Chain A
C-alpha cells in the first residue's frame, strides 16, 4: 500500500513539496494537499498592487493547474490534526488519515492585536489591504507618510524598505514628492535588522530624503488624530500610516496543539521535523525558526522535507538537512534592486543595487508560475550555494 502523505496548505512550500514528493516516490506514495481556497496566491505581488503596478488577477492561479496530475487536491479547511491517531479532520466533516504530515499552513495577519491599527493604518499584507492602500495613495495629495512594523515576526523582512523606496519614486512621478515627507520607523538603531543590508540601503534612503526614526517599536495607533505611539514613548503624527500588522501561525496549528504561544510550529532547524514527532514536518512561514518568513525559505526547505520523508518510506538513512538558506530581492526604486542571500552560518553580502537584479526580480515573478508545477527551483546567476 502506498504511504499516505497529507500536506496542509497550497502555498509555495506545500505545492513544491507535493510536486517533488510525487516525482520522487511515484507509486510508493499517495500525496494529498488540503487547501481552504484552492487558489494559489503569489504574495510578493501585493507590493506591486499597492503601488498600482499590478492587478490582483495577476497574483493568483487555480492551485489544481500548479499540481502534478498524481497529487490529490482537497479544497477544504483542515480544522484539527489528531496526531495520536494520524488523522486530519476537515471542516466539511470528512477526515484524512496520514502516515506523514507536512504542515505548510503559512501565517496570517492579526492587525486587531494592536490598538487602533485596523482603523488607523494601511498595509500590503493581504490583497484587500493592498487595494485599500492603493486607493489611499491615489487620494494622497502630499503630507507625512510613516512606514513601520507593528509586530515581529512578519513576512518578507525587506518589504517595508522596498515599499519605502517604491513609494518615494511613486510620489516623485506624481509630482508631489516635494510636498511629502517619508519616514521609516525602525525597531532598531539602523534601517534594517541585517547589518550588511542596512549599510547598503541607509545612504540610498538618505539620498532620497527618507528620514529614519530609530528604536520605534509600535505600541498603538490613534485613528482620530493619525498618531502612532511607540513602546519607547514617542508619538508621531502622520497623514498616511503604513504599518506591517502582527502575524500569527494558522488556526489549525493552534487548534491541534502543534504550535507555540504565537501559533508557530516548534521545528528542528536542520531536519524540519516537528519537535517530538518523526512523521510530522513543518515548512515555510509555519515554523518557529528564527529565519525570514518568505517564499524562498519555503522553496529551499521543500526538497529537504521531501528527501527526509522519502528516506522514512524507503527505510534509508536520512541525509538532507536545511542549512537556513534564504534569498530575498530588495527593490531600491528607480528600476534597481539588490539581492540578499544568506543561511544559518553566512550573513548576506548584497551587491550594489542594479538594473540587473531589478530585471532578475521581474523574471522571477514570471518564471515562478512555470517552475513551481515542475517542482524545480530556479537558480539565480552567481548563486553557488545549494539547498540542504
Chain B
C-alpha cells in the first residue's frame, strides 16, 4: 500500500463539514493519491461510503478506534 499523501483532521466537526473539507482536500491531490481522514462524527461513516460511491473515488480503508473514525480515500484516476 502506498503512503498517505495528506491527512485531513476533521475531528469535532459535524456533517456536512467532513465531506465538504474532503471534497476540497482531494482537489489538491493527484490521481491515485491517498487521502487519510480522521473524524469523530458517527454520521461520517454512511456519508463517506455514499460520497465515494457517488464521486468515483475509492474508499480503501475504514476503521474506528476510541471514537475516532479513520478513512483512507484513493483519488480516482
Interface residues of A (CB under 8 A from B): 152-153, 187-189, 193, 195, 214-215, 217, 219, 230-233, 290
Contacts and interface: CB of A to CB of B under 8 A. Distances in A.
A215 B19 contact: yes
Interface of B: 12-17, 19-20, 23-24, 27, 43, 47, 50-51, 54-55
Given A189-B47, A232-B23, A152 B12 contact: no
A153 B51 CA distance: 20
| Those 10 A-B pairs whose CB atoms lie nearest each other, nearest first | A231-B23, A189-B50, A290-B14, A187-B16, A217-B23, A188-B16, A215-B54, A232-B55, A217-B20, A193-B16
Contacts, number: 46
A359 B15 CA distance: 31
Contacts of B17: 152-153, 290
B20 A187 contact: yes
A231 B54 contact: no
Nearest to A230: B23
Main secondary structure of the interface of B (DSSP, over half): helix
Contacts of B47: 188-189
A220 B26 CA distance: 16
Main secondary structure of the interface of A (DSSP, over half): loop
Nearest to A187: B16
B23 A188 contact: no
A214 B19 CA distance: 12
Given A188-B15, A217-B19, A233-B55, 7 more contacts: A153-B17, A188-B50, A215-B51, A217-B20, A232-B55, A290-B12, A290-B13
Contacts of B27: 219, 231
Nearest to B54: A215
A348 to B, nearest CB: 14
A153 B14 CA distance: 10
A231 B24 contact: yes
Nearest to B46: A189
Contacts of A232: 23, 54-55
A364 B41 CA distance: 33
A38 to B, nearest CB: 35
A231 B24 CA distance: 6
Contact of B15 (A193, A215, A231): A193
Nearest to A234: B55
B64 to A, nearest CB: 19
A214 B14 contact: no
A187 B12 contact: no
23 contacts: A152-B20, A187-B19, A187-B20, A188-B50, A189-B50, A189-B51, A193-B15, A195-B43, A214-B54, A215-B19, A215-B23, A215-B50, A217-B24, A219-B27, A230-B23, A231-B20, A231-B24, A231-B27, A232-B54, A232-B55, A233-B55, A290-B12, A290-B14
A230 B27 CA distance: 11
A214 B50 CA distance: 10
B20 A215 contact: no
Given A231-B27, A290-B12, A290-B14, A189 B20 contact: no
Contacts of A217: 19-20, 23-24
A115 to B, nearest CB: 14
A355 B8 CA distance: 45
A327 to B, nearest CB: 18
A367 B56 CA distance: 50
A187 B14 CA distance: 13
A353 B54 CA distance: 31
A230 B24 CA distance: 10
B14 A188 contact: no
A232 B15 CA distance: 17
A74 B23 CA distance: 44
Contacts of A215: 19, 23, 50-51, 54-55
A195 B45 CA distance: 14
B37 to A, nearest CB: 15
Contacts of A195: 43
A117 B15 CA distance: 23
